[in-house]
Amino acid sequence: MTEIGLIRHGITEWNSLGKAQGISDIPLNDQGEKQAIELGNRLLSEQSWDLIISSDLTRAKETANIISSRVDLPIKNFDERIRELDCGKIEGTTEVERVQIWGSNWRDCDLGMERFESVANRGIEFLEEVRREYSGRRILVVSHGALIGITLQHLIPEQFTTTYIDNTSLTILQNNDDRWHCRLYNCTTHLG
């Protein structure tokens, strides 16, 4: 059985302000660093993992590096396929600003956002590759809220019609006989 622990990066200043981040390269804030330390401490006290793979965006890389230093695990690589949804023109804006600029139906406008199907496809492609390459191992993957949520909705649609992924939450997927199931979802028990 292969297990993949999906982790959303720690909180950033833009998260705190309610700004869409997308592929903008925003670092963790102090609270995000603390969240990553708390998650690392939790992982240290639980069943061991084999390695870490992270998104190549700074907030994910910083989260992965903090966890790596806490649990003494190597970071295998930084993979752009598990970057956040590209939010196009809305990156850096809040909901209030989006309504002011494009109106209350801004979601219906063509603002250059990546399609959910594209996000799901790259997320599932990544998970299937990890499953094949690291069969029988336990892999931590540090990524982003929309990427994780959209991927879950397409990978296991009978379990996930909607999703919400908290900062530094842990979601654990298992693959047995080429079938995916989720044994832990959006767990944040490590946060004080």
The answer to whether 12 is a known ligand-binding residue is yes
78 burial (CB, 10 Å; 0-12 / 13-18 / 19+) is middle
Known catalytic residue: 9?
Answer: yes
180 annotated as ligand-binding = no
The conformation of residue 85, written as its DSSP 8-state character, comes to P
Tell me, yes or no, if 46 is annotated catalytic: no
Catalytic residue among 3, 62, 84, 91: 84
Question: Is residue 9 part of an annotated ligand binding site?
Answer: yes
Say if CB 59 and CB 10 are below 8 A apart.
yes
Residue 59 annotated in ligand binding: yes
User: What residues form DSSP beta bridges with 6?
Assistant: 141, 171
Binding residue per annotation — 32? no
- State how far the Cα of 117 lies from the Cα of 93, in Å rounded to an integer: 23
Q: Is the Cβ–Cβ distance between 134 and 2 less than 8 Å?
A: yes
Is 53 a known ligand-binding residue?
no
Enumerate residues 6+ apart whose C-beta is below 8 A from 63: 7, 9, 10, 28, 32, 36, 39, 54, 142, 168
Task: Give the tokens for residue 11.
Answer: 């909180």
Residue 70 counted as an annotated binding residue: no
Candidate list 3, 9, 114, 190, residue with the active-site label: 9
What residues act catalytically?
9, 84
* Residues of the binding site for substrate: 8-15, 59
* Residues of the binding site: 8-15, 59
